Structure 1
Amino acid sequence: MDTFTAADLEIIEYAPHYQEDFRRLNHEWITRYFELEPADHTTLGDPQTHILYPGGFILLARSQGAIVGTGALLQTADGSWKLAKMAVTAQMQGRGIGYKLCQAILDRARALGVKRVELVSNRTLLPALHVYRKLGFQEIPLGTVAYKRGDIKMAVEL
């Protein structure tokens, strides 16, 4: 995967046989910067129960047959929508994959009638924050978050 063009990238729907890719990609970025927390183990171990069954979805980025990125939109118990589990493998970062994946997730959210999407991130993840701002996310009050690493909350109106 030394060369990369936008034509090499497909955004595809999650299916159960991609669960290990979903887990691997998220495990990779989280453990590079932070540590896995109980909520990570829960969601990554059973995305069907914690993302899909409540009405959310997962999209994957595939390049030259390999799954190189992932992201999810999940509906929380209070009915709000969260962008979560965004990850692009380290060797493919900086190529616009995260932007295209996030854009596809927001497009799908609009099609579903979602009016607002929130996310929680960390201020040290500057490339990710740049992508989110480029897509219209703005910082909102943090409030209570499920992850120790979460120190910034953002939202976009769709």
Structure 2
Amino acid sequence: MSGKSEIRVVTFDERFAADFARLNYRWIEKHFSIEPHDRELLDAPFEKIVETGGEVFFALADGDVAGTVAMVRTDTNTYELTKMAVDPAFQGCGIANHLMRACIELAKADGVGTIFLETHSKLPAAIALYRKFGFVETPIDPGSQYSRAEVRMELAIADRSM
């Protein structure tokens, strides 16, 4: 990516649904195995995420999808941040920062108090990103939908400035 690329974050657009799946399948298959809940979200993001009160964001670099993330509404006060993926060609360019800010702004605008996520210790760059944005580790939920989940983090949104 050239240093002059304009990064723009947009909400769900069906034109980019295949990119949401492609980018996420790539990183999950690289580090883990695809699980049923992955397929459910990746193969039907509008129905499983957007129509149920969540959102899928896309970071566009000069019109190309450089990264994506989903916010799944789990209850009236909570979002789950999930399926964060950045195209390898754009890694290290701040794409994830743009996506994280969009997620936090959504939660603030919706009056949501907490964002949580589940991840794995074999993804230290992701964990560092989440910590940078104020996420703290909390006990893992034994009822997690992912067998790979070994780290759970939360961010309290109240009075969070960006």
Sort the TM-score into its range (normalised by shorter chain): over 0.9
Question: Which aligned pairs between 1:9-158 and structure 2 lie closer than 5 A?
Answer: 9-76=7-74, 80-144=78-142, 145-158=144-157
User: CA 1:79–1:107 in structure 2 vs 1: closer, same or farther (change >3 Å)?
Assistant: closer
- Give the % identical residues: 33
Offset, 1:90: 1.4
Q: Give distance in 2, aligned partners of 1:22 and 1:147.
A: 19
- What letter corresponds to residue 19 of structure 2 in structure 1? D
Offset, 1:78: 8.1
Q: Give distance in 1, aligned partners of 2:27 and 2:3.
A: 21
Structure 2 unaligned residues grouped into runs of 5+: 158-162
- What letter corresponds to residue 122 of structure 2 in structure 1? T
Offset, 1:15: 1.2
Q: Give distance in 1, aligned partners of 2:121 and 2:145.
A: 16
Q: Is the 8 A contact 1:23 1:45 kept in 2?
A: yes
RMSD: 1.5
Structure 1 unaligned residues grouped into runs of 5+: none
Offset, 1:124: 1.1
Offset, 1:76: 2.0
- What letter corresponds to residue 114 of structure 2 in structure 1? R
User: Which shows bigger deviation, 51-60 or 78-87?
Assistant: 78-87
Q: Give distance in 2, aligned partners of 1:36 and 1:101.
A: 23
User: Which shows bigger deviation, 77-86 or 119-128?
Assistant: 77-86
Q: Give distance in 2, aligned partners of 1:142 and 1:131.
A: 19
Q: Give distance in 2, aligned partners of 1:66 and 1:81.
A: 27
For this pair of structures, how many residues does the alignment match?
A: 156
User: CA 1:4–1:36 in structure 2 vs 1: closer, same or farther (change >3 Å)?
Assistant: farther
